[in-house]
Amino acid sequence: MKLIYKLHLSFGILLVCVLVLTATFVYPLLMDTLINNQREELRSQGSAMMELVNSLPVQDLTPSQSAAAIVQPAQEINRSVDALLIEPNRNILFSTMTEAQTQTWLPLIEQYSSHNQQGFWQNGQEKYIVETLTSNPQSLDPASAVAPATLVLSTPLSKLKSYQSELFTRMMFIMVIGGTIAFGLSLFITKRLVTPLEKLKLELKKVEKRHFDEVQLIQTGGEIGEVAQSVHHLAGELKQYHHAQRQFFQNASHELKTPLMTIQGYAEGIRDGIFTGDRADNGLDVISSECERLKGIVTEMILLAKLESEDGIFDQEEVSVKQLIDKTVDRIRPLAINEKVDIKVRYEVDNPSKLHIHGDSEKLLQAVLNIMSNAIRHASQAVDIETSEQDGQVQIDVIDDGEGIPDHLLPQLFQRFIKGKNGETGLGLAISRAIVERCDGAISAHNGEHGGAIFRMSFPSK
């Protein structure tokens, strides 16, 4: 099942569950609320009636006339309430019910009043909410000492149930409309969320099939937009890696094929007697030289592969930057003298001995040697090594005064078998990049404003 259908189904089930739970809890809650409200209304109305009855002045009215004159107008306030005012001798002073209905209430009054029961009274098939109050006998008939009269107020429970059903129906109607609107909004929002994901899935299928050129950037916002940008960037990186991999095999085969063909040619010539005497000796020297060259290429290829994949070949330690540069200059000086290049070292810090970085000292030495030898081969007269520290970073710049780096080589300068003028195996800078990055550093190259190339290595200072 597609994700969008799963989301729609999940939200629909959730909405139905919410409606069912709401109905389950709200329906009885409505009845409880109506009963409590009705009970409070009966008490309030009964108290108001009894206050009027108790405050009745002495006059030439019979008790029934006095009660009717006050209770009946008060009862007009709520037609759903029945009122019955009765004396202890069963003398009915006032009733809003028919005579037959009133007679059915007389035994109920004796039954429930004797147990002082309030709340629900059962009268036949109907259940009533009942409140009873007792009057002051002096206010009804001051001339006679009679027992207090009882006011009985009742409301049929069936009326409250009809109110309950009506309110519940309206409420559920509103909730269904609200739920429908919410479900419609969820469909819209889900589509807005899932559509970019479906497009992103198609772009990932292109990556899976290595159609990197066809991968498009999905225009959307939020976290999905960030993932889309990452996928697009990943496709670009994989495209470059795939291209570099193919170019690596092409260059590697070319670099290995040339010395092998030279070795094969001289070996066959010596075997067939084409080269004899001094020419044969010269051929053997060439074979030996090409074998050394092959050995060097293979060794550097193996080293580069280990640097990029294995963790155990690095001995991380605290390295003194000054000692690293001093060792580099000492080892590279013979090449500089041979190329007639002057090496200058400058520190833009007060105490160079306090500069330290974290890494493998021997491999860092090899990385700097590779960069220095490259700079010396392309320099005209001088190579400068400038060291500085800023923002917690130790920066080592190797600057030559040569012709600079061709623009077409800059983007791929640190890739395998990328060689410029006077280059050797084309693996030295790639090895330097791998070593620097494994030491938590960064390496870059660009041309100077006044010519020459600048190689920059940056490391976190310790």
Region 436-447 average pLDDT: 91
Confidence of residue 142 (pLDDT cuts 50, 70, 90): very low
Residue 362 Cα distances to 120, 319, 323, 366, 367, angstroms? 97, 10, 11, 6, 9
Confidence of residue 82 (pLDDT cuts 50, 70, 90): confident
Instruction: Give the 3-state secondary structure of residue 118.
Output: coil
Q: What is the pLDDT of residue 314?
A: 78
The 10s digit of each residue's pLDDT in 269-281 is 888 888 888 888 8
Q: What is the pLDDT of residue 12?
A: 87
Region 298-304 average pLDDT: 78
Q: What is the pLDDT of residue 328?
A: 93
Q: What is the pLDDT of residue 369?
A: 92
Region 406-419 average pLDDT: 79
The answer to whether the CB of 38 falls within 8 A of the CB of 127 is: no
Of 33-37, 103-107, 117-121, 322-326, which has the strongest mean pLDDT? Answer: 322-326
Instruction: Give the 3-state secondary structure of residue 337.
Output: helix
β-partners of residue 461 are 357
Q: What is the pLDDT of residue 91?
A: 80
The answer to whether the CB of 431 falls within 8 A of the CB of 414 is: no
Q: Which of 78-87, 211-220, 317-326, 406-415 has the lowest mean pLDDT?
A: 78-87
> Which of 66, 76, 71 is CA-nearest to residue 50?
71
Q: What is the pLDDT of residue 67?
A: 53
Pairing of β 442-447 and β 453-460:
antiparallel
Q: Which of 185-194, 210-219, 302-311, 385-394 has the lowest mean pLDDT?
A: 302-311
Helices and strands (DSSP H and E) totals, the chain: 10, 12
Q: How many CB atoms lie within 10 A of CB 239?
A: 16
Q: Which residue has the tokens 């409250």?
A: 160
Q: What is the pLDDT of residue 423?
A: 61
Q: What is the pLDDT of residue 198?
A: 84
Enclosing H/E stretch for 446: strand 442-447
The answer to whether the CB of 410 falls within 8 A of the CB of 372 is: no
Percent of the chain scored above 90 by pLDDT? 18
> Which of 388, 378, 386 is CA-nearest to residue 344?
386
In the sheet where 453-460 sits, what is the strand order?
342-347, 382-390, 393-400, 453-460, 442-447
Q: What is the pLDDT of residue 81?
A: 82
> Which of 301, 372, 297 is CA-nearest to residue 334?
372
Q: Is the pLDDT of residue 401 over 70?
A: yes
The 10s digit of each residue's pLDDT in 318-367 is 999 999 999 999 999 999 999 999 999 999 988 888 899 998 898 899 89
The answer to whether the CB of 414 falls within 8 A of the CB of 361 is: no
Burial 74-93 (b: 16+ CB within 10 A, else e): bbeeeeebbbbbbbeeeebb
> Which of 101, 122, 102 is CA-nearest to residue 111?
122
Ordered domains of the chain (ranges, CATH): 3-165 (3.30.450.20), 222-309 (1.10.287.130), 317-460 (3.30.565.10)
Compute the 3-state secondary structure of the chain and give helix, strand, coil in percent, each to the nearest 5: 60, 15, 25
The 10s digit of each residue's pLDDT in 193-215 is 888 888 888 888 988 888 888 88
Q: What is the pLDDT of residue 113?
A: 66
The 10s digit of each residue's pLDDT in 30-64 is 888 988 888 888 888 888 777 776 665 544 444 55
The 10s digit of each residue's pLDDT in 174-196 is 989 988 998 888 888 888 888 88
Region 419-431 average pLDDT: 72
Q: Where are the beta strands (DSSP E) in 58-143?
A: 82-86, 92-95, 119-123, 126-134
Confidence of residue 140 (pLDDT cuts 50, 70, 90): very low
Confidence of residue 141 (pLDDT cuts 50, 70, 90): very low
How buried is 325 (Cβ within 10 angstroms: 0-12 exposed, 13-18 middle, 19+ buried)? buried
> Which of 63, 221, 223 is CA-nearest to residue 141?
63
Q: Is the pLDDT of residue 69 over 60?
A: no
Q: Is the pLDDT of residue 374 over 60?
A: yes
Q: Is the pLDDT of residue 106 over 90?
A: no
Distance separating alpha carbons of residues 47 and 403, to the nearest angstrom: 109
Residues 6 or more apart in contact with residue 426 via CB below 8 angstroms: 251, 255, 416, 417, 418, 419
> Which of 454, 411, 457, 453 is CA-nearest to residue 434?
457
| Phi, psi at 409, each rounded to 5° | -95, -20
Q: What is the pLDDT of residue 117?
A: 53
Q: Which residue has the tokens 């404003």?
A: 449
Q: Where are the beta strands (DSSP E) in 348-392?
A: 356-359, 382-390
Residues 6 or more apart in contact with residue 50 via CB below 8 angstroms: 133, 134, 135, 151
> Which of 74, 73, 108 is CA-nearest to residue 90?
108
Pairing of β 342-347 and β 317-320:
unpaired
pTM here is 0.50
Q: What is the pLDDT of residue 89?
A: 78
> Which of 16, 38, 36 is CA-nearest to residue 172?
16
